[in-house]
């Protein structure tokens, strides 16, 4: 940009608003300047159409995208025809779809239905799910029906099941390799490069009798929870098409909500299958990080500074439990396992009460009334069962997110963004990747102004950490992560609190509107933190947003927001410190009320109990590594 912008240090400047900057750019208003710099979705309506067209020309046709989407549509239509031709009555299909995994397999054993009828019923639901949410990528309906027929032949001839997942329809996140199909994860230039073999977990599922019917959509680069990419498009929330389906396994969550899959497999770095599970009211669990050594073969390789976790996503806790019983302890079929397979434990004494910790908000961004209510209803139910309940101070989520940012941005996101090539970068990656793109002095100036005028030390810590690092700095960040891991494991599960399990919000709010991830991807820190310290997490739905219970109270902006958090301070050491939630993120989520300096443009609040009515709200159930 050749035009000169003059800034007054007295003006308020934040990464969310530049409309108060005194600027002179020839021929453009300040609103257009903001659009140029930050593509602010809230200001877009004020931009002159001719200026917006100059800034955002219509995308050029892309033959690769057209080809892939046309093939997907063709294969889905063939699936519709196969469903119609199969002829099972709607009552039986409803029984099949309503059955859990154990009963699905049991129904085949009892000759109540066949594997073909099971797979057909779920294909019918998967098509409905896709029509409403755009959740599927690679379509395997035809080979799935062929595999189901072969399972039926085997059962009729031998009277035996192929395995404990005989006839169970699976979907896999697009990151998993399936022989003969693309593994694009939404990158256009990765199209037409078929995998040569099945991913380890795909091969294992098939060996146990499972039938793969489709792959599901993911966010661009999988580093956000807006499930959108240029190749496959945007996946919407099954409960409200205006809201996200979460990510990075958002497609899995959406198809499960409609009963389009009996069992899904997520794989994620950022949000342990959590945000998507809450967004679409599915149940998920991240496998213990120890299992990464067994099941990561055949998944797109990448960042390893934070453990990538693999986890089943299902429609009920019973199905997740059954999946764990089946998959835990299985031997890998390739020499990839450097640790022994983890057995599913049946020796636990559950007759004694559990010691359960909880917190209602993690003080990164205050948890909304709906998310706090989900936690309180959960702990009250457990208290009624005789378990020991203790409210605790949360970990310092901002500090753990800072460690994640230091590790993930060490090369300035150059490797990650290099895969975009001709693809346009999705808006959800804007704030995530902004820091490394800025010159050091601009980043420092931004932080200074935010500290001076907004007093948001949380934001400045995170924004300052988002930059390229030297090798020695990267080693230091890795060492700090290990120290934080050790300190919090010791504090939560061992010498200090000695908890059996911890219950907390998934994130501050339920599923947010499309586009809001542009500046709010960091709120996923509430669940990302558990990746940093390698704690397995399960997500269960608890309730739905109810406006009469979950609207912001009248005194929301007057209530004290500061509170204690537990901050790692070295090997096996923690300290309790007082922190305030991030004013910038609070303002983006809830509006400003009277808490922030004026004049600032008022954003459209993300949390609105009336608009979010009916959206699912879940909780995280956090455990310790190895238990």
Residue 47 covered by a domain: no
Is residue 200 domain-shared with residue 239, that is, in the same domain? Answer: yes
**pLDDT exceeds cutoff 80 at 138:** yes
Query: What share of the chain in percent tops pLDDT 90?
Result: 68
Residue 6 predicted with pLDDT over 70: no
Q: Which of 306, 327, 348 is the last residue of a domain?
A: 327
Are 290 and 410 within one domain?
no
Mark whether 87 and 169 lie in a shared domain: yes
Residue 278 lies in a domain: yes
Vertex 229 angle, CA 223 and 235, to 5°:
95
Q: How many CB atoms lie within 10 A of CB 67?
A: 12
Q: Is the pLDDT of residue 79 over 50?
A: yes
> Which has the closest alpha carbon to 61: 227, 217, 188, 221?
188
Residue 121 lies in a domain: yes
How many separate domains does the chain show? 2
- Find the CATH number of the domain harbouring 244: 3.90.1300.10
The whole-angstrom separation of Cα 78 and Cα 310 is 31
Q: Are residues 503 and 569 in the same domain?
A: yes
Q: What is the pLDDT of residue 481?
A: 94
How many whole angstroms separate alpha carbon 30 and alpha carbon 172? 46
Q: Which of 32-46, 68-82, 525-539 has the lowest mean pLDDT?
A: 32-46
Q: What is the pLDDT of residues 329-352, one digit of tens each?
A: 777 665 554 445 667 878 778 789
- In the predicted structure, residue 463 carries a pLDDT above the cut 50: yes
pLDDT bracket for residue 595 (50, 70, 90): very low
List the one residue out of 569, 394, 403, 572 whose CA is nearest residue 487. Answer: 572
State pLDDT tens for residues 175-218. Answer: 999 999 999 999 999 999 999 999 988 999 999 999 999 999 99
Rg (CA), the chain: 25
Assess whether 396 and 305 both reside in one domain.
no
57: in domain: no
Identify the pLDDT of residue 351. 84
Mean per-residue pLDDT over the chain, rounded: 84
Half-sphere exposure of residue 257, counting CA atoms within 13 Å on the CB side?
29
The pLDDT value recorded for residue 56 is 45
407/484 same-domain check: yes
Q: Calculate mean pLDDT across residues 247-276.
A: 78
Between 97 and 301, whose confidence is greater?
97
pLDDT of residue 584: 92
Domain shared by 246 and 153, yes or no: yes
Tokens of 37: 């710099």
Helix (H) or strand (E) holding 381: helix 369-384
* Residues 143 and 239 both lie in one domain: yes
Please tell me the predicted confidence (pLDDT) of residue 190.
95
Residue 492 lies in a domain: yes
Give CA–CA dist 406/602, Å, rounded. Answer: 31
Closest CA to 513 of 239, 213, 248, 257: 239
Do 167 and 288 lie in one domain? The reply is: yes
Alpha carbon of 537 to those of 153, 370, 540: distances in Å? 39, 20, 10
489 vs 20: which has the higher pLDDT: 489
Count CB atoms within 10 A of the CB of residue 334.
11
- The pLDDT assigned to 268 comes to 56
Residue 334 lies in a domain: no
Domain boundary among 327, 345, 373: 327
Residue 21 in this model has a pLDDT that exceeds 50: no
Q: Does pLDDT of 325 surpass 60?
A: yes
What's the DSSP call for residue 244? Answer: B
Residue percentage of the chain with pLDDT more than 70: 80
One domain for residues 242 and 379:
no
In a domain, 51, yes or no: no
Would you state the pLDDT for residue 239?
Answer: 94
Domain region containing 241: 63-327
Same domain, 422 and 554: yes
- The pLDDT assigned to 557 comes to 92
- Greatest alpha-carbon pair distance for the chain in Å reads 82
pLDDT for 587 equals 92
Is residue 241 one of the residues assigned to a domain? yes
State whether 98 and 144 are in the same domain: yes
Domain boundary residue, one of 288, 308, 327: 327
Q: pLDDT per residue over 491-543, tens digit each?
A: 999 989 999 999 999 999 999 999 999 999 999 999 989 989 989 888 999 99
Q: Hey, what are 134's tokens?
A: 């755009």
567-576: average pLDDT: 88
* Closest listed residue to residue 401, CA positions, set 351, 345, 463: 463
566 has which bridge partners? Answer: 395, 576
- The 3-state secondary structure of 537-578, one letter per residue: EEEEEEEECCHHHHCCCCCCCCCCCCEEEEEECCCCCEEEEE
pLDDT for position 614? 96
């Amino acid at each position: 940009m050749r035009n000169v912008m003059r800034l007054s240090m007295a003006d308020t400047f934040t990464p969310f608003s530049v409309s108060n900057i005194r600027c002179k750019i020839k021929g453009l208003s300040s609103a257009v300047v903001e659009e140029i710099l930050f593509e602010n979705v809230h200001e877009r309506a004020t931009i002159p159409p001719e200026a917006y067209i100059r800034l955002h020309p219509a995308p050029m046709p892309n033959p690769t995208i057209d080809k892939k989407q046309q093939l997907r549509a063709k294969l889905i239509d063939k699936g519709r025809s196969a469903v119609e031709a199969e002829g099972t009555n709607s009552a039986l299909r409803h029984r099949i779809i309503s059955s859990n995994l154990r009963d699905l397999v049991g129904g085949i054993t009892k000759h109540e239905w066949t594997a073909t009828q099971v797979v057909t019923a779920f294909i019918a639901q998967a098509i409905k799910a896709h029509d409403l949410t755009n959740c599927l990528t690679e379509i395997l309906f035809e080979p799935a029906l062929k595999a189901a027929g072969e399972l039926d032949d085997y059962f009729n001839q031998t009277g035996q099941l192929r395995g404990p997942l005989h006839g169970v329809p699976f979907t896999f996140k697009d990151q998993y390799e399936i022989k003969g199909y693309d593994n694009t994860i939404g990158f256009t230039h990765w199209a037409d490069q078929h995998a040569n073999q099945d991913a380890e977990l795909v091969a294992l599922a098939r060996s146990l009798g499972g039938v793969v019917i489709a792959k599901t959509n993911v966010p661009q680069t999988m580093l956000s929870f807006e499930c959108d990419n240029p190749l496959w498009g945007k996946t919407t929330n099954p409960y409200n098409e205006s809201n996200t389906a979460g990510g990075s396994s958002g497609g899995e969550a959406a198809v499960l909500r409609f009963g389009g899959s009996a069992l899904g497999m997520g794989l994620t770095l950022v949000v342990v299958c959590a945000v998507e599970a809450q967004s679409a009211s599915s149940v998920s669990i991240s496998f213990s990080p120890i299992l990464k050594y067994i099941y990561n073969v055949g998944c797109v390789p990448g960042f390893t500074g934070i453990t990538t976790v693999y986890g089943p996503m299902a429609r009920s806790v019973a199905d997740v439990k059954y999946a764990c019983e089946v998959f835990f302890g299985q031997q890998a079929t390739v020499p990839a396992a450097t640790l022994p397979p983890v057995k599913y434990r049946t020796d636990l004494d559950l007759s004694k009460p559990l010691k359960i910790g909880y917190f209602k908000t993690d003080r990164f961004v205050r948890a909304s009334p709906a998310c706090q209510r989900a936690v309180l209803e959960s702990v009250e139910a457990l208290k009624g069962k005789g378990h020991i309940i203790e409210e605790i101070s949360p970990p310092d989520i901002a500090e753990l997110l800072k460690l994640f940012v230091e590790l993930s941005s060490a090369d300035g996101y150059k490797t990650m963004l290099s895969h975009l090539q001709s693809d346009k970068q999705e808006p959800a990656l804007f704030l995530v990747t902004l820091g490394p793109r800025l010159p050091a002095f601009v980043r420092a100036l931004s932080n200074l102004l935010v500290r001076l005028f907004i007093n948001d030390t949380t934001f400045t810590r995170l924004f300052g950490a988002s930059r390229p690092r030297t090798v020695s700095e990267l080693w230091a960040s890795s060492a700090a992560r290990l120290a934080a891991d050790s300190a919090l494991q010791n504090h939560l599960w061992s010498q200090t609190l000695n908890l059996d399990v911890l219950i907390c919000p998934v994130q501050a709010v339920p599923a947010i509107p499309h586009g809001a991830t542009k500046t709010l991807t960091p709120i996923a820190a509430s669940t990302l933190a558990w990746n940093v310290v390698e704690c397995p997490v399960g997500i269960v739905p608890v309730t739905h947003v109810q406006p009469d219970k979950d609207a912001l109270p009248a005194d929301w902006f007057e209530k004290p927001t500061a509170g204690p958090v537990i901050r790692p301070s070295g090997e096996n050491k923690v300290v309790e410190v007082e922190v305030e939630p991030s004013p910038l993120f609070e303002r983006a989520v809830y509006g400003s009320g009277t808490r922030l300096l004026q004049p600032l443009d008022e954003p459209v609040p993300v949390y609105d109990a009336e608009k979010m009515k009916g959206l699912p709200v879940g909780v995280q159930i956090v455990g310790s590594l190895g238990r």
